[in-house]
Amino acid sequence: MTALDVLIGEVVRMAPAALFNIYFAVAAIPAGFGFAILLALGKNSPNQIVNRLSRAYIYFFRGSPFFIQLFAFYSLVLAFNLSTWKPLGIDGFVLHPLFLGPAILALNTTAYTAEIFYGALITVPRGEVEAARAYGMSRRQRFWSVTWPNLIRIAWPAYTNEVVFLFQATALVYFTLPVIGDQRDLMNLAEVLFQRDYNVFLHFGVAAGYFLVISFAIFYLFGLIYRRLMRHLPQERRLKFSWRRVQGLS
């Protein structure tokens, strides 16, 4: 067997595992997106209780490591197993990594996305909103026809980075959650294969290659969407390729 055969065999062997990472990301993104809109509005709300709660949620999830969040929420759900999930007969579903993984990922990405959306929300041109108000639009109309289109265009580049980092965070899921049968993601499979023959460069290298390629694919796809969002503008403003993430607590 030549080195190329070995490499191709490894790429083929890891392909199903990559699907698990993609599944985790795809399952977590819509929920995170939806909740983030609500949370961003909450952080901007004049209602003190809603405002404080939204801020606390965002601070909590952005200030602590996702790895520990996984541990904490998994063990919390596990602690309710005998008292709640088992009697209801839904323990197999609630404790399944294919449910719990995306659920905890969604909790995490909601906070990061909400911070991005909040940043965009407060930079939406004030004049446009005031004009809509002068036309007699209702609150709901103002939001969906003026604020939201502006918000998503401002937030899209930063949101793209958040999605890429969410995809990379899926590598952590199976360090915490139990592996059921042959359901392994890239990182877990790379570790299992490494334990067999100690070939760190082959297994980790191919796994890294998959992450790189899929990250680039996300950038490409989101770049296309960005171009569509910006199609009303005369000059072609393309999403610049960059890994920069508005992360941490700035």
Partner 1 sequence: MLVDILPQGLKDFLGQDLVFWLGYISNGKHLNWYASVQYTLAAMVLGAAIALVVGLVAAAARSNGPLPLRWFAAAYINIVRGVPDVLFFLFFPLAFEQAVEWVYSFQVCTPETLALNAGRWPPCDAANISFSSFGYLILASVSLGLVYGAFVASVIAGALRAVPAGQLEAARAYGMTRMQVLRRVHIRQMWVYALPGIANVWMSIVKATSLLSLLQILDFVAWAQRLGAANFSRAAGLVHDDWRWRYYFVLLVFYILVTFVSEKIFGAIGRRLRRGMPLAEQNAT
Q: How many CA atoms lie within 13 Å of 63's alpha carbon, on the beta-carbon side?
A: 6
Q: Pick one of 50, 78, 94, 137: the residue that binds partner 1 (CB under 8 A).
A: 78
From residue 6 to residue 45, what is the string marking binding to partner 1 with x (rule CB under 8 A)? ----------------------------------------
* Helices and strands counted in the chain (H then E): 12, 0
* E strand or H helix at 69: helix 66-79
Rounded to the nearest 10°, the torsion over CA 238, 243, 249, 250 is: -50
Q: How many CA atoms lie within 13 Å of 115's alpha carbon, on the beta-carbon side?
A: 21
Query: Is 71 a residue that touches partner 1 (CB under 8 A)?
Result: yes
- Whose Cβ is closer to partner 1: residue 67's or residue 135's? 67
Number of residues that bind partner 1 (CB under 8 A): 45
- Whose Cβ is closer to partner 1: residue 53's or residue 152's? 53
Q: Which stretch binds partner 1 (CB under 8 A): 117-125, 143-151, 221-229, 240-248?
A: 240-248
CA distance 169 to 162: 10
CA distance 152 to 127: 17
> Which residues are near partner 1 by CB under 8 A?
59-60, 63-69, 71-72, 75-76, 78-79, 168-169, 171-172, 175, 187, 190-191, 194, 197-201, 204, 207-208, 211-212, 215-216, 242-250
